[in-house]
C-alpha cells in the first residue's frame, strides 16, 4: 500500500487465527445498514469468515435473529433494559450476552476475533474502536466519526500497534484500492466524489422548507438515518475530507471534492505525474464492505455489474458551498485542526438528532454547528481526555442552543 497509509506490504488484514483459516469477524453495530450488509457478505462466504461478536444499541429483535442465524461467541446489547430479553431468547444456545456501554469496550478487547467491523454510528463508536486498535485488532472502519473526533490519536495508535485500518466508506475504499501497488509513489491529491444528495442544485429558499421525510430520500444510497441527513447537508463529505486526511496522511490542500451525481466513480487519486486512477462500480456498499473484510484478496460475488452500454453520462461539477454551508464549516475544521473537528462533529450529531425529531429546520442545523464551533474553546493539540471533554462541551452547547 501507499507509504502514506499505515498498511505495510505483506501485512494482511488479520491473522487468520481460526484453526480452519477462516477470519473471525466482530461486527460492532450489526443491526445497522452497514452491519446487516456485512452479514450478507459473511453469509455468502461461510468458508472465509466466522461471526464472533455482534452488537446493537436497542434493536434487540434483530440482534436475537442475527445471533440465532450466525451463532456468534458474544452478543452485546447497548440498552441495558433489553438484557433480560436477549439473554432469555439466547438461553438455549451457548452465546454469551452482555449489556451496556462498558461491555462494548470490554468485548472489543477480547481475544476471540481477528477483525472488527466498526459500524456503530457516531461518537458512540469511538471507544470500542480505539479499544480494538489498542488490543492489536485489525479494523475495517465504517465509523468515520472516530477519525473526525481524534484521527491523530487513532492513527498513531494503529501504527504503534501495527494495526491496519481498512476503510469501508466507499470513497476511502476507492482511494485505498487505487493505492494498491503504489507504495513508493506520492499522492499529489485525492478527488473525493459526492453524489450531491437529494437537494443537489437547490438554493437556501428551498432548503429552509425541506422536511425530514424528504431529506431521508437519498437518490443513490440506502443508509442509516444520520448519514443520510449528513449526505443531504453535505456534512458527510466534510466528515469524509477529515477522514481522508487521517487515513492517507494528507494535507488539507491535497483533498478536493467534486460532485458526481451518478455515484459510479467512487473517488480518485492523482499522482505526481498527473496520472489519475479512479475506482468505479455501481453504488453498492456491499462491495467496499466485502473488500475490507477480505483484504488483501478480492473474492468473487454475484452483485450487479456496471454496464457501460446502459448508463451513458458521467458528469462532474463544483460543490455549492455557499448553499451547503456545512461543507464549508467542515473545511474550516479540516484546515484549523485541533479539537475543532471534534466540536463540529458533536454539534452536528446533536443538530441531526434534533432535525430527525422535527425540532429544528434544515438550515438551523448549520446555524447550531457554526455557533458551537465559535463558542467551545479551541485546543490546538488536545489529549484524548481533552477530545472527550470538547465533545461533551459541544454537545451541551448545541443542545442548549436548540433547547433540546
Residues 154-183 that bind Mg ion (CB under 5 A): 169-171
> Interface mask (CB under 6 A) for ligand NAD, residues 153-172, using x and -?
----------------x---
In angstroms, the CA 321 to CA 228 distance is 18
Position among 120, 194, 207, 360 found at the interface with ligand NAD (CB under 6 A): 120
In angstroms, the CA 29 to CA 117 distance is 8
Residues 45-64 that bind ligand NAD (CB under 6 A): 56-57, 59
Rounded to the nearest 5°, which phi and psi values hold at 179?
-90, -5
In angstroms, the CA 111 to CA 257 distance is 40
Which position's Cβ is nearest ligand NAD?
32
CB closer to ligand NAD out of 16 and 283: 283
CB closer to Mg ion out of 72 and 167: 167
> Interface mask (CB under 6 A) for ligand NAD, residues 172-211, using x and -?
----------------------------------------
Residues 4-23 that bind ligand NAD (CB under 6 A): none
Point out which span in 24-32, 180-188, 251-259, 396-404 binds ligand NAD (CB under 6 A).
Answer: 24-32
Q: How many residues does the chain have?
A: 404
CB 151 within 8 A of CB 242: yes
Quickly list H helices, 161-249.
170-178, 204-207, 212-215, 225-233, 235-248
Rounded to the nearest 5°, which phi and psi values hold at 270?
-105, 125
Question: Is residue 141 classed as helix, strand or coil in its secondary structure?
Answer: strand
223 binds ligand NAD (CB under 6 A): yes
Rounded to the nearest 5°, which phi and psi values hold at 110?
-75, 160
In angstroms, the CA 246 to CA 311 distance is 34
230 binds Mg ion (CB under 5 A): no
**Sequence-separated (6 or more) residues with CB below 8 Å from residue 184:** 3
- In the list ligand NAD, Mg ion, none, the entry touching 195 (Cβ below 5 to 8 angstroms by class) is none
Least distance (Å) from ligand NAD to the CB of residue 145? 5
34 binds ligand NAD (CB under 6 A): yes
Q: Residues in the site for Mg ion, rule: CB under 5 A? A: 169-171
Q: Residues in the site for ligand NAD, rule: CB under 6 A? A: 29-35, 56-57, 59, 78, 119-121, 124, 142-145, 169, 221, 223-227, 285
Amino acid at each position: 500500500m501507499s507509504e502514506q497509509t499505515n498498511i505495510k506490504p505483506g501485512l494482511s488484514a488479520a491473522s487468520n487465527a481460526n484453526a480452519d483459516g477462516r477470519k473471525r469477524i466482530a461486527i460492532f453495530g450489526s443491526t445497522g445498514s452497514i452491519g446487516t450488509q456485512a452479514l450478507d457478505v459473511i453469509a455468502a462466504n461461510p468458508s472465509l469468515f466466522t461471526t464472533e461478536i455482534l452488537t446493537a444499541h436497542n434493536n434487540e429483535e434483530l440482534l436475537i435473529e442475527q445471533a440465532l442465524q450466525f451463532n456468534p461467541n458474544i452478543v452485546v446489547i447497548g440498552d441495558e433494559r433489553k438484557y433480560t430479553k436477549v439473554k432469555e431468547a439466547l438461553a438455549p444456545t451457548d452465546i454469551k450476552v452482555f449489556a451496556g456501554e462498558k461491555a462494548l469496550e470490554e468485548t472489543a478487547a477480547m481475544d476471540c476475533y481477528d477483525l472488527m467491523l466498526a459500524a456503530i454510528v457516531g461518537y458512540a463508536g469511538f471507544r470500542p474502536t480505539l479499544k480494538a486498535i489498542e488490543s492489536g485488532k485489525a479494523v475495517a472502519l465504517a465509523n468515520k466519526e472516530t477519525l473526525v473526533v481524534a484521527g491523530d490519536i487513532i492513527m498513531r495508535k494503529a501504527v504503534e500497534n501495527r494495526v491496519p485500518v481498512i476503510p469501508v466508506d466507499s470513497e476511502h475504499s476507492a482511494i485505498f484500492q487505487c493505492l494498491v501497488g503504489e507504495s513508493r509513489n506520492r499522492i499529489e491529491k485525492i478527488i473525493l466524489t459526492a453524489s450531491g444528495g437529494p437537494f443537489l442544485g437547490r438554493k437556501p429558499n428551498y432548503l429552509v422548507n425541506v422536511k425530514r421525510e424528504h431529506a431521508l430520500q437519498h437518490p443513490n444510497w440506502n443508509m442509516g438515518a444520520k448519514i443520510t441527513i449528513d449526505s443531504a447537508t453535505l456534512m458527510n463529505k466534510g466528515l469524509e475530507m477529515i477522514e481522508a486526511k487521517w487515513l492517507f496522511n494528507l494535507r488539507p490542500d491535497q483533498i478536493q471534492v467534486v460532485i458526481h451525481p451518478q455515484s459510479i466513480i467512487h473517488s480518485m487519486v492523482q499522482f505526481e505525474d498527473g496520472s489519475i486512477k479512479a475506482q468505479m462500480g455501481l453504488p453498492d456498499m456491499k462491495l467496499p464492505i466485502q473488500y475490507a473484510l477480505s483484504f488483501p484478496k478480492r473474492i468473487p460475488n454475484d452483485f450487479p455489474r456496471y454496464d457501460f452500454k446502459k448508463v451513458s453520462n458521467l458528469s462532474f461539477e463544483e460543490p455549492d458551498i455557499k448553499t451547503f454551508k456545512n461543507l464549508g464549516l467542515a473545511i474550516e475544521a479540516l484546515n484549523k485542526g485541533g479539537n475543532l473537528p471534534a466540536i463540529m462533529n458533536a454539534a452536528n450529531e446533536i443538530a441531526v438528532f434534533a432535525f430527525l425529531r422535527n425540532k429544528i429546520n434544515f438550515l438551523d442545523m448549520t446555524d447550531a454547528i457554526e455557533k458551537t464551533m465559535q463558542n467551545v474553546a479551541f485546543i490546538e493539540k488536545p489529549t484524548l481526555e481533552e477530545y472527550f471533554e470538547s465533545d461533551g462541551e459541544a454537545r451541551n452547547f448545541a443542545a442548549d442552543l436548540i433547547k433540546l
